[in-house]
Amino acid sequence: MSVDPAILEEIYDNAIYIVKDLNPIDKGDRYVIDCPECGKREAWIYKQGAMGRIFCNRKDKCTLAQSNGLSLWDYVQRKEGLDQQETLERLAFYTRVYLPSLSDDQIQAMRENRNKKDLLEESHRYFRESLFTEDGAKTLEYLKGRGYTEKDIKTMELGHYPGYANTLKHLVSMGFQVNPIPEVFEYAKRRGEYKVVFPYGDLSGNIKAF
Ligand SMILES: [Zn+2]
């Protein structure tokens, strides 16, 4: 995604508002903050010329210190689990920077992303819940037979796949658009008999597939 450099510069000039949660304190040329990686108060952002990066001083003890810092963009995106467009909007919101309005296509793309994200999350919730219903009893028994405790099952967010038709029916009952069918369910359609479900996520913890 390309962002107007002037807008980014304005955002990063007001970076203190992005790191409010890291308790910034003015120390002359920089703000000292809690390190988002190691948690120690040895991180900082520069007031000027920082290009929107967080640095940490704990060379041997913090992965953030071993790299060229962490961008404020990535910090907000990961922490809040956002896509690129949402990250820009959040940064602009924090720093009160005005963003030129979005085109209809951009708005439509954002809506579709949001719908897909909600749909995956609702499916995941439904699969996990189904594991503890009559339909999921055999799957639960199978998992327990493999040595998984109920705690493991919850931690690993395992679920039971109640079949393609039931899944779509559930989603429709929850008000989701399933026409056209989201591509992730094209795979689910061909799953066959294997009923155990677990989510594949990205780095932000968003579900990408099952
Ligand atoms: Zn650190």
Domain shared by 51 and 136, yes or no: no
Domain shared by 108 and 205, yes or no: yes
Distance 44 CA to ligand 1 centre (A): 10
Domain shared by 121 and 64, yes or no: no
- pLDDT for res 68: 77
- For the chain, how many structural domains are there in total? 2
pLDDT band at 203 (very low <50, low <70, confident <90, very high): low
Rg (CA), the chain: 22
Distance 38 CA to ligand 1 centre (A): 4
Distance 55 CA to ligand 1 centre (A): 8
Task: Give CA–CA dist 108/114, Å, rounded.
Answer: 10
Task: Give CA–CA dist 169/133, Å, rounded.
Answer: 17
Is the model's pTM score more than 0.85?
no
| pLDDT tens-digit map of 126-145 | 999 999 999 999 999 999 99
Domain shared by 119 and 151, yes or no: yes
Domain shared by 58 and 110, yes or no: no
C-alpha pair distances (Å), 83 with each of 60, 109, 149: 32, 11, 34
Domain shared by 159 and 191, yes or no: yes
Domain shared by 88 and 149, yes or no: no
Q: Give 16's DSSP letter.
A: G
- pLDDT over 90 at 165, yes or no: no
- pLDDT over 80 at 202, yes or no: no
| CATH classification of the domain holding 77 | 3.90.580.10
- pLDDT for res 174: 75
- pLDDT for res 184: 65
Q: Which residue shows structure tokens 């793309």?
A: 109
| CATH classification of the domain holding 176 | 3.90.980.10
| pLDDT tens-digit map of 72-97 | 999 999 999 999 888 999 999 898 88
Owning domain of residue 44: 5-95
